[in-house]
Amino acid sequence: MPLKWVFHWQPNAGTTVNSQMINEVSQCVESINGVKEGRWKATLTFYKPMFRDQAVPAEYPRDFLGISLPEQPNRYYFIIRSQKIVLEADSSIQMIMEKLQSYKSRVSLTFEGFQYQLGDFQLRVGKVAPSASENLRGIVFEVEYLPLSSMEKSRQILDGFVEIWQEAMSKRSLPGHFMHIEPNFAEFGLSDHYTSQHTAVQYATVMAQLISAVQTAQGVRN
């Protein structure tokens, strides 16, 4: 499948994201001739372990994440980022997890927004918010290069595109910038050939960045 790079919005120190910024980012995509195609939505769910006896200390992963992706509606992805595990499963795995009663969903967040076509590129702008509320927690931006699946072969093309994109964004003088952190996919057992599991790993990485940004901001305030 075509490879993609996922970016997250890194606000300048002391600033937060707001919905006006998403409008600005969308306008920026349109200003470089991106054609709006429709909506997209991914859901990320944090799971926490359940215990029979709460008093007994137990070590279980704290970053167990389940992800549903719009491009794979019948699949579901589990990630334990700290242990470099990503699993692809039929979406019925969620029903199995419910029946096991060993982990339950703690909180769900959605990545949701509009999708644009621009030549060989597909772009997505999305807000990050808890499923149960409209509270904006972050902004994501995705670039998908449709003709290629090899990450190495497409690196130069994407670097070129990102340069154009960052320049267009810089004209808007928003208090922050988009960051792309490429996970070490090989550590997750993934190859150069891009798959939805790569996307799941990138989403988990973005989520970790957003959480650490919130924690840093709270640390500053406290």
Partner 1 sequence: MECVVQGIIETQHVEALEILLQGLCGVHRERLRIHELCLKSGPNLGLVASEVRVLCDLEQPEPTWIVRHIGGAMRGSGAEQISVLVRTMVESKVSKNVLRLFYALGYRLDHELLRVGFAFHFQRGASITVTVSSVNKMLKLHATDEAVPVTPGIQLVEVTAPASSENYSEVAAAVSSFCEYLAPLLHLSKPGTSTGVVPTAAAAAASLMSDAGVTT
Residues that bind partner 1 (CB under 8 A): 49-53, 56, 58, 60-61, 64, 78, 80, 83, 85-93, 95-96, 99-103, 189, 197
User: Taking the complex as a whole, how short is the minimal distance between the CB of residue 74 and partner 1, in angstroms?
Assistant: 10
Taking the least distance from each CB to partner 1, the nearer of 102 and 170 is 102
Q: Are 105 and 99 in contact (CB under 8 A)?
A: no
Taking the least distance from each CB to partner 1, the nearer of 139 and 201 is 201
User: Taking the complex as a whole, how short is the minimal distance between the CB of residue 64 and partner 1, in angstroms?
Assistant: 7
Taking the least distance from each CB to partner 1, the nearer of 27 and 60 is 60
Tokens standing for 189? 């057992």
User: Taking the complex as a whole, how short is the minimal distance between the CB of residue 132 and partner 1, in angstroms?
Assistant: 23
Query: DSSP string of 67-132?
Result: EE-TT-TTEEEEEEGGGTEEEEEETTHHHHHHHHTSEEEEEEEEEEEEEEEETTEEEEEEEEEETT
Tokens standing for 29? 């995509």
Taking the least distance from each CB to partner 1, the nearer of 59 and 134 is 59
Taking the least distance from each CB to partner 1, the nearer of 9 and 78 is 78
Instruction: Determine the Cα–Cα distance for residues 67 and 114; give it in Å rounded to an integer.
Output: 19
Other C-beta atoms closer than 10 Å to the C-beta of 61 total 16
Other C-beta atoms closer than 10 Å to the C-beta of 27 total 13
Taking the least distance from each CB to partner 1, the nearer of 26 and 149 is 149
Q: Are 37 and 120 in contact (CB under 8 A)?
A: no
User: Taking the complex as a whole, how short is the minimal distance between the CB of residue 81 and partner 1, in angstroms?
Assistant: 11
Q: Are 17 and 9 in contact (CB under 8 A)?
A: yes
User: Taking the complex as a whole, how short is the minimal distance between the CB of residue 183 and partner 1, in angstroms?
Assistant: 16
